[in-house]
Amino acid sequence: MHKLYLLVLSALLWCLTGVMANAAEVGQAAPHFALPALQGDKTHNLKDYQGKVVYLDFWASWCAPCRTSFPLLNALYKKYKDKGFAVVAVNLDEDKAKAEKFLQDIPVDFTILHDDTGKLADQYVVESMPTSFILDQKGVIQQIHHGFVSDDIDGIEKKVTSLLSAN
């Protein structure tokens, strides 16, 4: 019985270690993605954003903090897009219509992708809404941000401008 317990515990720890080793963490290359735009047929890849600072945002239509973040992120995007900044928001709703309704209420100019299966969110280990990753020009994760309140935008802008000026 004792050996069986140790075997099960060892297997569980090995599985957890494997999951944690694949988690998206600061200092690591961001996991690759190829996802369709929420509207239209275009597929977007992470490599499309090489050379840009990217704010990669995972969100859902039911997410109250997302309603706060979208207008502020849109203003940040407009301010820095010509300097090499991109916002890529990955919607996790299974029902596209819910995301489209959200965007009718809160329209934005940045890229909206759709991950209805949640596979990309699993790769990035998204556990709360919204969860965002700031990537540098080489696609390396420089910051991870969980949740959102309006005061957060100042710190996000500071990180983005720091990365933009580092190039």
* Residue-wise pLDDT tens digits, 99-157: 999 999 999 999 999 998 999 999 999 999 999 999 999 999 999 999 999 999 999 99
Distance of CA 154 to the CA centre of its chain: 18
pTM for the structure as a whole: 0.85
- CA 145, CA 133: separation in Å to the nearest integer? 6
List the domains of the chain with CATH numbers.
Answer: 25-166 (3.40.30.10)
The position carrying tokens 């809404």 is 129
Q: What is the DSSP string of 96-131?
A: HHHHHHHHHHS--SSEEEE-TT-HHHHHHT--SSSE
* Residue-wise pLDDT tens digits, 89-98: 999 999 999 9
The H or E element spanning position 68 is helix 64-80
